[in-house]
Structure 1
């Protein structure tokens, strides 16, 4: 019992109450965000849309998501984290309710685009608020718990979506809207505004330019990190875009693909809470290099995979890499962001995921078609390239973080 309590204190102890309310809101948000998982099926089955049109509507949702990520970052730094989270959740709930009763395909496409905007706006605000309230020494644990909640919520969403879709597509959208409103209620009642107005700390002494969204888009050290994260996202997207095609080519049934995906999700839910103590003694760049190398090894193994056991073994390896990468990846992103631009930096960082969701299937499909199983050698080489990049980029990142901390301390010293 004492050992269990000590493990929990090491894993989640010392985190402020506001973090746990944010965490709860995120978990409810993800567990309820299931309607869009079945959007293409809804369009083809319930609305009679051809698959090509259904694909365009789903793509419109993705385009809206990219715009919403940037908009959410800007608003979270201007309006505040709480106001942005509330606005995004309330708008999303209204749009989902409208989708439940809309029959015209053109209107559905517009609503799907707007839902993409509203669904993506909270991400920068959630992370910026966590950084605002969690002491630096505990942020790795906080981000680890955030990643765990995200995956647990997605697992619940997948289960509920299948049940509700069989019962009623209208219920699917309405329950999604209700869950979004529930997350908004948690934010209204329990989450205070965490944004602190302060003098700009990115100024010429550190960044050499006036602060704004363009600051993040022209920050070379940060953009190198974003580029490496993009490579990691491209690797991760292989499981949902290219791997199903490879498994079908190997004669495996869809149920086999579901088993591989379920194994990865189960490993994250069960094992993610043990990651902080495992990686704490090591430098973040070293952990990221090792985690990306594990992902490269896992996906590279698929070059010789021809049966379910090897796919399952490879999934264990690349999932371990994903689990190790999550906390340092989020923490480095937070460390590189000046306080007054925290949400804007988060929004640029989160653009890597919609970009990877486009690049991975577009180029991966061509690669698999022309290279066959050698496609996985290319994916593995890409992962090893990213691992080397993290080792090389680590020292400049650490110098940049030290400069930002010095700039944050200087105004306090001057005031004293």
Structure 2
């Protein structure tokens, strides 16, 4: 057991563990959207279509915030971006606690999503900065475990708090965001890479490789490139598109309470159903790196997509709470395989001096699913036969799996080129012109 713990968590830097703790606290407090998922139709009186629109606006706000946050993480710094995100999230959560009007709830959900998305690239970039290539898989896996441990607590709390005063839910969320901000303020240093300019060569473009900054460093050279350079990177953007497809399937789980309500089941039982996701990840995620070590990453991602599609597609025939819990088991297994491989590949495909931008665009691929899945899913639930949505999601899982297998070789060649210092410049040029 000691050997396993050392292989799983040993030797990771102190800053990582502060971020890990912040993740656990932050995600435990992230029951606001779960609360809205459960209560928008039953308590707020929204239609399935409008509830889907609110969730979609939250996702759209996250996607936009991710792009802005990626630029800020590179230009303004990781730490400042994280502080702004968490303080603004706390203020928005409090505002949400005071409103019931359809229009205002929808607008504030989009604003809440924006601030949520803005902090994601800075957080991910900080993780990549402090872990380095050798510890990246373990660190990303541990952080994903913390996300879902917190989410499990949040799912349970969402059910427990469903009968507490409305405002209490939002005040508790705001408190969690402020605790995260305090951890960043007191314990997380700035880690943004600094380009050390070689005297006499700067004018000719001769700059040394980027090095992590653990304290304020004067004379920081400006970050080169733009968000458009990332968007023109076809290898990276195809990977982002495949991630978007996968997460559209996963984020459709937010529509399960509506499907349950339509089938005559208690929507409040959704907390019990979705808690299976967090419990599985908490119980087994730490064993995943050993399970997939040395395996072809593209094949692992393809298997992940198939499991996610199969599990979500099975919702079409799951008519009881236990059956719905079983579907969660299947798609969660796919999600667990995906998470550590995905995180390391995004890092491997990112130019160090533009890491915030790459993380921002990658995060947009995840968060845009929060926009697409609820809106189109809500429309299908309202206007198509009951099984339609879930069968479409199963087909999407097959398409993503095929895409991962076909694009894998080119992606791995790009990752190897960027990891080899001797070919970094060539890989940079390839990225700029791809």
Q: Smaller-chain TM-score range?
A: 0.7 to 0.9
Instruction: Specify the alignment match of 2:210 in structure 1.
Output: none
Equivalent position to 1:64, from 45, 54, 61:
61
Report the structure, 1 or 2, having the larger helix content.
1
Equivalent position to 1:358, from 371, 376, 379:
371
**1:131, CA displacement in angstroms?**
0.3
Contact 1:124–1:347 at 8 Å: present in 2 too? yes
**1:113, CA displacement in angstroms?**
3.9
Matches within 5 A, 1:297-312: 297-302=310-315, 305-306=318-319, 310-312=323-325
d(CA) in 2 for partners of 1:298 and 1:111?
32
- The 1:235/1:39 distance shift into structure 2, 3 A limit, reads closer
TM-score by length of 1: 0.83
Q: Which moved more, 1:49-58 or 1:7-16?
A: 49-58
Equivalent position to 1:395, from 398, 409, 415:
409
Instruction: Specify the alignment match of 2:128 in structure 1.
Output: 131
Q: Does 1:231 find its partner at 2:228?
A: no
TM-score by length of 2: 0.80
Instruction: Specify the alignment match of 1:342 in structure 2.
Output: 355
d(CA) in 2 for partners of 1:347 and 1:340?
13
Matches within 5 A, 1:17-416: 17-39=14-36, 60-100=57-97, 111-164=108-161, 166-198=163-195, 211-241=225-255, 243-244=256-257, 252-254=265-267, 257-302=270-315, 305-306=318-319, 310-364=323-377, 370=384, 372-373=386-387, 376-407=390-421
Q: Which moved more, 1:153-162 or 1:102-111?
A: 102-111
Contact 1:10–1:277 at 8 Å: present in 2 too? no
- The 1:58/1:305 distance shift into structure 2, 3 A limit, reads closer
**1:319, CA displacement in angstroms?**
1.3
d(CA) in 2 for partners of 1:12 and 1:80?
27
Contact 1:11–1:277 at 8 Å: present in 2 too? no
For structure 1, the residue ranges without an aligned partner over 5 or more in a row are: 204-209, 412-416
Q: 1:137-183 CA distances to partner (integer Å, 9 max, x unpaired)?
A: 22111111111111121222233344445333333333222221111
Q: 1:363-397 CA distances to partner (integer Å, 9 max, x unpaired)?
A: 44565654553654443232122112111111101
d(CA) in 1 for partners of 2:100 and 2:398?
48
For structure 2, the residue ranges without an aligned partner over 5 or more in a row are: 198-204, 206-223, 426-434
How many residues of Structure 1 are paired with residues of Structure 2 in the alignment?
Answer: 398
d(CA) in 1 for partners of 2:46 and 2:419?
54
Three-state SS of the structure 2 residue aligned to 1:173 is: helix
- The 1:394/1:182 distance shift into structure 2, 3 A limit, reads same
- The 1:230/1:62 distance shift into structure 2, 3 A limit, reads closer
